[in-house]
Amino acid sequence: MKKIKYLALFLITFVTFIMVGCDATNNTLDDLDKAIANVETASQQTDYQEISELVVEEATPMSLSFTELELDPLQEFIDLRTSFLENHLLLQTQRLTFQLNKEELRSLISLFKDSELQLSEQDKEIIKEKIDLFRSYRQEFLDTKGLAYLRIYNLKDQYKIEDIEMINQTISEVNEVLLLRITLFEKTNQDIEEIIAILRGYTEI
């Protein structure tokens, strides 16, 4: 009789341990999914569709010619615009990589939950540290909101010769913001890929 009681107690304890472990894992993965979603929301540009047309149409400022202006400001504009287009493409490449990583991560999270897999304490701590990083990336994205494409878009009615210095200054500042956002996406993608590698280690056993 005592053996049966001990066995029942052991089974109850074991099942409780498993359930608590699964809940802890699911909570960590839910927090992770939410943190990634928040990064995505913070990184979105409300004027993104409009800028894709603007960068093609505005090849040079209106009324700008070599006879009206010295070469240096014009060459600076051309160089800055080239850098802007290059940064624009780099940013969209990183954004696409982020989308692919996000979808793979969500698939792994679903698999974890469906299979009732548990993370080790060490891996949970690693993922929690990444979640804190994602929250900081989100804030950095928010801090640059409206300082990139929106400023370029707002130049569309000011492409005049007398505004060339202001135009060049604005594009230069926008390029700095784009480079910051590229770096943020690179860090985010690297951290997501590290988490994916951890989760794959469980699903490939």
Q: What is the pLDDT of residues 168-193, one digit of tens each?
A: 999 999 999 999 999 999 999 999 99
Q: What pLDDT score was predicted for residue 152?
A: 84
Q: What is the pLDDT of residue 174?
A: 93
Amino acid identity of residue 52, one-letter, is S
Share of the chain above pLDDT 70, in %: 76
Interhelix angle 2-43/164-203, nearest 10 degrees: 160
Which pLDDT score is estimated for 3?
52
Output the pLDDT for position 52.
52
Distance CA 191, CA 162 (A): 46
pLDDT tens profile 8-52 = 444 444 444 444 445 778 899 999 999 999 999 999 865 454 555
Q: Where exactly are the structural domains of the chain?
A: 25-203
Please give the residue that has the higher pLDDT: either 115 or 59: 115
What is the rounded average pLDDT for all residues in the chain? 81
Quickly state the pLDDT bin for 62 (edges 50, 70, 90).
very low
pLDDT digits 0-9 by tens, 123-145: 999 999 999 999 999 999 999 98
**Separation CA 63–CA 179 (nearest Å):** 30
**What is the pLDDT at residue 205?**
53
Asked if residue 46 lies in contact with residue 134, where contact means CB atoms within 8 angstroms, the answer is no
